Amino acid sequence: MDPNRYNNYDLEQDVHRITLYSTVAREHQHASLKKRLYLHLDMNCFYAQVEQLAYNLYGLPVAMGGWRKPNGTARGIVATASYEARALGIKTAMSAFEASQICPYLVFMQIDYDKYKGISRQLKEILDSFSPVVEKYSMDEYFIDITFLKGKPHRQIEAFGKSIKEKIYNDLGLVCSVGIAYSKTWSKLASDLKKPKGLSTILTADDAVRHLYPLPLDEVWGIGRRRYEHLKRYGLLTIADAVKSGSGPFKKLFGEMQGQLFWETVTGNDRARVLQNEEHIPDEVSYMHTFSDWTEDPIAVKGEIVKGVRKVCYRMRGYKRKARRWGCHIRYQEAHWEGYSFTFNTPGFTNLDDYVLKACLPEAMRVVTSALKRGIKIRGIGLHTIEMQQTEQMELFFHERDEVRHLYRAADCLNNCYGPDTVTKAAVHESVKGNTHFVNRS
């Protein structure tokens, strides 16, 4: 038996989509100024596409994450949807009920995570045969360093991208979009230009001007809605605006070093490495569960909070991260994402369930009890870190008890080897019964 198997944390467990670092960090860049060539591959609607293949659902609108009750009422939240469903107006994070009102014949499928992980491993094996430097960015997204094609004729580079697409289709029966560019960030943008099944190349400055410069800045990896709002106040709406303005406005908004890095990323001037064996560490770790139906049972809600803390802390231990500031959300029965959110602190930086539960449960159960007394039922719970650091240093006023730390280390070893629920708290079994997004948790 592989001795490392016991320490092999499943950091993708119950995570819909893994997009873990917000932009190209300075430590992820090459020191040299050598020009490089990148390929980004994006499996189109991966979950839905796999289910269409598995159950011969081609041409039908498929929504992942929902299910129907025996009376036909749709429940759950749409995690992703096929292009046929998207064309009808079905969107990610839409309630399954709302989606079923738009399309009564919508096919709901729960997420079969083990199936997708297996196919993702096959996909990685295919890509490894094309280049020795491949990064698994998420289960359905990969970066490949193809600098060995730098300077080759355009038709040869494009043929390389087509050969990857054909190999994946012939071996797995799946389609994908490919972007090739001289910037890692821009290769990711390029793969979005012609979805589904597209192939786009950004090999010259003219290619960039024609295809990427018109794109709004919030489409760039790492910018996001909030940073985009700040940039708009400086009149920076598109990549072309950023190129024209220079790095000055970015430095004023985000600081000297971070602003320069953002500007380089946006304008295709980063020197990013394709990360083969490095773990992508998230800025925060979170968990959200919307119940199949609302509940009035406070004990069951408490079990769900215990489960959420368990999921978050397990992943943090896998990332070797700890937190001391946290957020919790109790979702009410209303159709919208309404509820009560609060923050709480642990005595110090920790990733052990016991300390988080002791800090979280009193306020969480006060909120739940108060809502139930007012006739408001509970529909879901969420938990996330706010302040997370990599720290093994002893704190002056707090340290985790050795016996508690050793207990969780032993439990993780058993769960990593024999399955995630081999050792668990009894309170988890008091959770809200019903379906979830995931087949393995229903």
List active site positions.
141
Say which residue the tokens 């020197």 belong to. Answer: 271
User: Are 286 and 385 spatial neighbours (Cβ–Cβ below 8 Å)?
Assistant: yes
* Lookup result for tokens 């096929």: 82
Beta strand 322-332 with 62-68: parallel, antiparallel or unpaired?
A: unpaired
d(CA 238, CA 215): 5
Residue owning tokens 């300077």: 151
Tokens of 199: 């192939």
Instruction: Quote the tokens at residue 309.
Output: 């803390």
Rounded (10°) angle between helices 402-418 and 298-319: 90
